[in-house]
Amino acid sequence: MPTITETCDAVATVLSSISGLRAVGYADDNIQPPQCHVFTREYDPRMIMGNGKRTYALGVRLFVRRADPRAAHIQLRKFMDSSGSTSIITTLEDESAWGVTVDYCEVTAVGAPFEVETPTEIYLAVDFDVDVCW
């Protein structure tokens, strides 16, 4: 059974298959938008299914530059769409996008966009709740 780190890294690898999108399997201070950071969410460690299968609850935070708010929202929404070549939902839920055997990956929620401010930049971001079962 894969570890949490292996699961986060696998999600980042799948997300990196979207043209122009960077992804890492951890939260990082170095943001290079458009970029996703994969992090752990609260989960029930007792959630073990038959045959030792485990479900991990993860979060994916997508960052885009906010220099032009309208352009930032348009770019963000392309990744938030439920279909299309830049859809995070479609990509994560597509079994053929995974280079490893996974029982399922499901996006269970898409959050509201919010601003993230660093000392040098302002970003527009959105969180995706993702469940991965191995």
For the chain, what is the domain count?
Answer: 1
* Better-scored residue on pLDDT, 62 or 100: 62
Q: Tens of pLDDT along 84-124?
A: 999 999 999 998 999 888 889 999 999 999 999 999 999 99
Residue 10 tokens, joined = 């696998």
- Which CATH number do you get for residue 113? 3.30.2000
Q: Where do runs of H (alpha helix) occur along the chain?
A: 4-15, 69-80, 88-92
Give the residue numbers spanning the domain of 89: 4-133
pLDDT tens string 4-35: 999 999 999 999 999 999 999 999 999 999 99
**pLDDT, position 50:** 66
Residue 32 has a pLDDT of 96
